[in-house]
């Protein structure tokens, strides 16, 4: 969906280095999310935001931090990357309406920590 | 502990036949359920949803059934088409704007 843009699309980084992933939305959604996708686990919530400067932890938040200084941008930072953080990261925003809770996802960032 | 479970990692079905994907959940507070479809190298896309006050929702070839007493929902795709080959994720929400996802089921539609 063109409304959610993630950057970079691919990244290889070394263990111990900080990494920041970016998510930009053009749909003015209040809520934004970061998920990671791993085989056998599906999509797991890392952090989410319910407004500018308002964020909260998800189920797998250890080793990650987020920031949201503007409605349209949501950043995910790996403070010191580890091999266990090799994954595909998806940003989402929404919901599309009050009743269907449908969220729009970005195309993902494939992160490899070597 | 995963609150949404998709116990079948994969499903193979012949074109034109019905695909049935199953999902179980453990959290009785979930009140909204969604299915997402995902192609390789793309993000998940919303497919269909159902609220806990309903037991069926239909959208074209896709129908979702909810059995609250069994904490079970299913997605029926009729008829299955080659373009339906994808990973399907079941998700649920407690009305708190957060989604919990299952591990996904890979559907392969054979010609």
CB nearest A102 (choices: B49, B51, B102): B49
Smallest Cα–Cα separation from A21: which of A78, A71, A62, A70? A78
Report the C-alpha gap between A75 and A34 in whole angstroms.
Answer: 9
Q: What is the pLDDT, as a whole number, of residue A36?
A: 97
DSSP state of B69: T
Classify B105 as helix, strand or coil: strand
Interface check for B98 against chain A (CB to CB < 8 A): the answer is yes
What integer pLDDT is reported at residue A22 of this predicted model? 98
Residue B51's DSSP bridge partners are B32
State the pairing for strand pair B56-59/B4-5.
unpaired
Count Cβ atoms within 10 A of the Cβ of residue A77 and give its class: 0-12 exposed, 13-18 middle, 19 or more buried. Answer: middle
Query: pLDDT for B53-100, tens place per residue?
Result: 999 999 999 999 999 999 999 999 999 999 999 999 999 998 778 899
Percent over 90 (pLDDT), chain A: 83
Terminal alpha carbon distance of chain A: 30
Q: Do B41 and A107 touch (CB under 8 A)?
A: yes
| pLDDT surpassing 80 at residue A98 | no
The answer to whether A27 touches A106, Cβ cutoff 8 Å, is no
Residue from B43, B91, B93 to probe the interface with A (highest A Cβ count within 10 Å): B43
Phi first, then psi, for residue B67 (nearest 5°) are -120, 95
- Per-residue pLDDT of B3-45, as tens digits, reads 999 999 999 999 999 999 999 999 999 999 999 999 999 999 9
- Using CA atoms of B76, A39, B41, B97 in order, give the dihedral in degrees to the nearest 10: 70
CB contact under 8 A, B43 and A1: yes
Q: What is chain A's mean pLDDT, rounded? A: 93
């Amino acid at each position: 969906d063109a409304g959610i843009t993630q950057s970079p699309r691919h990244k290889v980084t070394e263990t111990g280095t900080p990494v920041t992933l970016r998510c930009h939305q053009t749909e003015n959604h209040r809520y934004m999310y970061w998920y990671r996708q791993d085989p056998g686990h599906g999509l797991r919530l890392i952090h989410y935001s319910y407004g500018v400067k308002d964020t909260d932890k998800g189920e797998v938040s250890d080793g990650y931090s987020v920031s949201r200084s503007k409605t349209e941008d949501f950043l995910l930072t790996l403070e010191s990357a580890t091999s266990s953080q090799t994954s595909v990261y998806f940003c989402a925003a929404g919901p599309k309406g009050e009743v269907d809770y449908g969220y729009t996802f970005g195309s993902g960032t494939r992160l490899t920590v070597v | 502990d995963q609150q949404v479970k998709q116990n079948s990692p994969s499903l193979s079905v012949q074109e034109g036949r019905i695909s049935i994907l199953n999902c179980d959940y453990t959290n009785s507070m979930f009140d909204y359920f969604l299915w997402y479809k995902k192609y390789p190298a793309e993000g998940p896309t919303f497919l269909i949803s159902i609220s806990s006050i309903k037991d069926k929702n239909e959208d074209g070839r896709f129908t979702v059934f909810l059995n609250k007493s069994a904490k079970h929902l299913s997605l029926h795709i009729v008829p299955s088409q080659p373009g339906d080959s994808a990973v399907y994720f079941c998700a649920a929400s407690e009305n708190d704007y957060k989604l919990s996802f299952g591990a996904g089921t890979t559907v392969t539609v054979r010609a």
